[in-house]
Chains A and B, each alone.
Chain A
Amino acid sequence: MSRVAVVIDGLLVQAEPDWTVLEAARSAGVEIPTLCHHERTGTEGICRLCMVEVAGRMEPACATRVRPGMVVNTRGAAVEQLRRTVLELVALETNVEYDDELSGWMEEYGADPTRWGEPLAGRRQRKPLADNPFFVREYDKCYNCRRCLDACGEGIQGVWALAFTGRGAEAGVTTTFDLELAEAGCIFCGNCVEVCPTGALVPLEELRAAKGGPS
């Protein structure tokens, strides 16, 4: 199939027809920040951090296929303002202390969550769940990117032990009926831990070692 010519930040990119704007940008060395996207789990278009400007419209780079003649602007004031807000809202709701990448973007985009007021209580109040011998789920650090859901279900494992419930500030990852993982059918492959970008899912061994205790 023939390639699709698109312009990204002034660069001409010859993209494969099935590429997303994100893939086309990365192929040209243009970095677009993403939270929920993961190349193997296939999660798409949830966090809105990768929004780019296409002919005056905002579109998610990870969930938008290239179109012939597309002109994409990945920076610019509107994009940056939107990303700043996304980052601030994430930080307002989430304990991001172990997410170095996100913290770096907050600095880069000048994000200041305090301008919205106090951190939101919602998911920050969720208690760590240690219901198995292998890993701990600290959902106060989760910003609902859903990579874990995809790794557990469609993307890799085909187990669907994890589920997504609630709305708004109460929305979050859990298991069906909040069952313990083993009861929910989890087989502890840890592929959710593998793809978790925030440290919400953390190996027990790592937690023990970090606390300096006997592991």
Chain B
Amino acid sequence: MTPPLRLEPDRVVSTVCPYCGVGCRVDLYVKNERVYRVMAHGGPPNYGALCVKGRFGLGFLHHPDRLTTPLIRRRKGGELEPVGWREALDFAAERLAWVAAKHGPDSLYFISSAKATNEANYLMQKLARAAVGTHNVDHCARLCHSSSTAALSRSLGSAAMSNTIEEIPLSDVILVTGSNTVETHPVIGAMIKKAARNGAYLIVADPRRVGLAESAHLWLRLKPGSDPVLFGAMARWLVESGHYDRAFVEERAEGFDEWWASVREYTLEFAESATGVPAEKIRAAAERYAAAGAAAIYWAMGITQHSHGVANVQALVNLAVLAGQLGKPGSGLNPLRGQNNVQGAGDMGALPNVYPGYQPTANAAVRERWGRLWGTPQPETAGITMTEALESIGRPGGVRAVYLMGEDPVTSEPYQEHVRAALAQLDFLVVQDILKNETYPYADVVLPAASFAEKNGTFTNTDRRVQLLRPVFEPPGRARPDVWILARMGTRLARLLNRGSAASWEYPNAAAVWEEVRRAAPEMFGGISHARLEHENLRWPCASESSPGVSVLFTDGFATPSGRARLLPAPWNPPAEQPGGEYPLLLSTGRVLYHWHGGALSRRSALSEAYPTLKVEVNPADAERYGVRDGAAVWLVSRRGRIRAVAWVTERAPEGVVFAPIHFAEEAANRLTNNAYDPVSKIPEYKAAAVRLEPA
């Protein structure tokens, strides 16, 4: 039905929201080359609903800070000056090739983007692996769900939501942990709340009194960082009391004995002392979860962004396996992916250890296959992660040149001063983006890119749904789609470095890139074409053109070598930095409803009027203790820096914990955060830094 309009649109274009991983389908109403109304599609994944960001937060498209012309800095210390595309691409390619030739291909690093299309991500990793010859490519999932990917891959063989959004109403029990779903995935948050109103039993495990905690039947307010004890104790209780799914464990899992030995100490009483959650609540949560006909776990950054993030996720995996809550409709393990295309960026191999389709780079046969496909030998040296790469800058054998697409490390990496110092030491930095950001001043080349509304391609949402973008506008000025830019960069680097044929970089459009993806990873994407996506809802895995793709994962086996789910110990280690002494409070960071990540998009839209300045959540007891009033200016100080904020005195934050949003570059929470990393996933510990609070 046509909505009642004050203004007849010049056109209405159906596309996908650019903000979060829910991947809401939207219609953009356009008049005089501006979006004036956003309407939701009735079908999946959003079923007629949107949140404030997608509906009212697209003003960035028309903002004067859009990058519209290529810029180069001819020498360090000089100014960025506008040039034509040919000169900018030649300049960038020649310098990247020079660094690769002089210091080896592994001195280059390629940072892809979970905001860019699948096609652009595919080309970025191809640029690294084919044109340059390095596995040094990664993207911002390193900072968000790398812990989930690591634990899910090794235990289950597949790293994605195992259920779908449309299965939310099918769960009898929903356990949400470390996810402020109603603010960070609002459309899914509303669906979970509705499921709870319709009879599902909602368990929320979170130190903060997040929105969903108010709707929960059972809220487990655990101490920050005690997650493996809570979930380990739940699993241990299920086994001890005989409530676990013995048949499932015997038929479909392995590693029970080793796991059982690892949770021997995690009695309910021990868990109560370690987590602060009463033993009775832990027991009730475990029994409710295990007894459900179908129970699903949803989690996000509160679980993953710890120096023991992989163990946190592992504890959830173990719990699901022991309860047999996997592989059924409404029953599974569901990491809520943050960025609109963070699922896709990983699927496309924008990771140092896997090719597209999660084919491991460590496997010689796999490398050989890709070498044949691209017509150039594949590097044997393993790639390093983005966080390791940034730490390596300035060190012997470290990274010397970075190609950055749609990422702002200065706001998004931990310990900001450290990151700034590293970027200043680079020989060469390429920034390919749609807007000016905090990293832009460090660039030697700036390549202006097209936004989601100005290009073709696909995004893959959090439940593996591959969705087609449609261009609404021409890119502003001389901005070009990422695929256009990367293909031209590939041609140049392949020629300069004499790797493969320049012809393998000729793509008439994004669909041609996707066709290569289909051929390269047929089990996952063989059945998905841009043409089918015009009129069908498809999700991976989708091997054939006659299939709509698989909804519930693991119904009859796991994607591990043995086909069984691997139980693994999930050891509990406290956060790397403990509050105490001069820094008596624990800082947790995250998002709020009205903003997006580093703020580059949301703060250039009407959203900024609803939430203009940084507010930190302070528990009333701490406010009293440190002389802070609600609404007053405060300093938050860590060993690494200080930021000024407004105090929001609220019970949302538990005593001893302050929470700061990450969206305000001028008072960046990441000036405070700790560059401690999980040993496996290399994720930074954004959820725990020691700070103090001072009235400003």
Closest Cβ neighbor of B55 among chain A residues: A190
Q: Is A205 an interface residue (CB 8 A)?
A: yes
Name which of A56-64, A78-86, A166-174, A194-202 contacts chain B. A194-202
Closest chain A residue, CB of each to CB of B194: A158
The residue that A187 contacts in the complex, of B36, B52, B606, with Cβ under 8 A, is B52
Residues of chain B within 8 A of A208, CB atoms compared: 36
Q: A157-B190, A188-B56, A203-B36 are in contact. Are A40 and B6 (CB under 8 A)?
A: no
Residues B178-203 near A (CB distance < 8 A): 182, 186, 190, 193-194, 197
Once A189-B55, A190-B50 are accepted as A-B contacts, the answer to whether A196 and B190 lie under 8 Å apart by CB is no
Within 8 Å of chain B (Cβ to Cβ): is A29?
A: no
A205 near B36: Cβ-Cβ < 8 Å: yes
CA distance A190 to B26 in the complex (A): 13
Question: In whole angstroms, what is the CA distance A154 to B32 when docked?
Answer: 37
Q: Would you call B40 an interface residue if the criterion is a C-beta within 8 Å of the partner chain's C-beta atoms? A: yes
Contact size class for A? 35 or more
Mask for B24-47, Cβ within 8 A of A = 1, else 0?
A: 000001011011111110100001
Cβ contact within 8 Å between B48 and A134: no
Query: B215 near A: Cβ within 8 Å?
Result: yes
Assign chain B's interface to a size class.
Answer: 35 or more
Nearest B residue to A182 via CB reads B610
Judge if A210 is at the interface, Cβ distance under 8 Å.
yes
Q: Is B303 an interface residue (CB 8 A)?
A: no
What residues on A are CB-neighbors of B35 within 8 Å? 205
Q: A101-B1, A207-B6 are in contact. Are A189 and B186 (CB under 8 A)?
A: yes
Q: Are A196 and B37 in contact, CB atoms less than 8 angstroms apart?
A: no
Could you mark each residue 132-158 of chain A with 1 if its beta carbon is under 8 Å from any beta carbon of chain B, else 0? 111100000000000000000010111
* A98 pairs with B50, CB closer than 8 A: no
Is B51 at the interface (CB under 8 A from chain A)?
Answer: yes
Using A202-B6, A205-B37, A209-B34 as known contacts, say yes or no to A187 and B56 having CB atoms under 8 A apart: no
B521 at the interface (CB under 8 A from A): no
Beta-carbon contact of B56 and A134 below 8 Å: yes
Interchain CB contact (< 8 A) of A133 among B7, B29, B49, B609: B609
A199 CA / B1 CA spacing, docked (Å): 13
Interface SS of chain A: helix, strand, loop or mixed? loop
Q: Are the C-beta atoms of B37 and A134 separated by less than 8 Å?
A: no
| Interface residue? B242 (CB, 8 A) | no
B49 engages A157 (CB within 8 Å): yes
Given the known inter-chain contacts A190-B52, A194-B48, A203-B56, please indicate yes or no for A98 contacting B36, CB distance below 8 A: no
Question: Are A158 and B55 also in contact (CB < 8 A) when A203-B36, A209-B34 are?
Answer: no
Instruction: Evaluate whether A158 and B193 lie within 8 angstroms (CB atoms) in the complex, with A194-B39, A205-B35 already known.
Output: yes
Asked if A100 is at the interface (CB within 8 A of a chain B CB), the reply is yes
Report B1-34 CB contacts with A as 1/0, cut-off 8 Å: 1111111000000000000000000000101101
> At the interface, yes or no: A52 with Cβ under 8 Å from chain B?
no
Once the chains are docked, how many angstroms separate the CA of A206 from the CA of B7?
7
Contacts of B609 in A (CB 8 A): 133
Tell which of B42, B51, B55, B197 touches A193, judged by Cβ atoms closer than 8 Å: B55
Chain B residues numbered 40-88 whose CB sits less than 8 Å from any CB in chain A: 40, 42, 47-52, 55-56
Any A CB within 8 A of the CB of B593: yes
Report the bound CA distance from A205 to B38 in whole Å.
Answer: 10
Complex CA distance for A98 and B3, rounded to whole angstroms = 9
Closest to A141 in B: B4
Kindly state whether residue A204 has any CB partner on chain B within 8 Å. yes
Q: For residue A204, which residues in chain B have a CB less than 8 angstroms away from its CB?
A: 606
**In the bound complex, do residue A187 and residue B197 qualify as a contact, i.e. CB atoms below 8 Å apart?**
no
Indicate which residue in B56, B215, B607 contacts A158 across the interface (CB closer than 8 Å): B215
Which of A60-80 touch B at CB < 8 Å? Answer: none
Asked whether, in the complex, the Cβ of B2 is within 8 Å of the Cβ of A100, the reply is yes
Within 8 A of B (CB), among A89-112: 98-101
Which residues of B have CB within 8 Å of A198? Answer: 4
Q: List 20 A-B contacts (CB under 8 A).
A: A39-B42, A101-B2, A133-B610, A134-B606, A154-B197, A156-B48, A158-B215, A190-B52, A190-B55, A191-B48, A191-B49, A194-B3, A194-B49, A197-B3, A197-B4, A199-B5, A205-B37, A206-B5, A207-B6, A209-B34
Other A-B pairs, 5, CB within 8 Å; known A191-B49, A203-B55: A98-B6, A156-B194, A205-B37, A206-B37, A210-B6
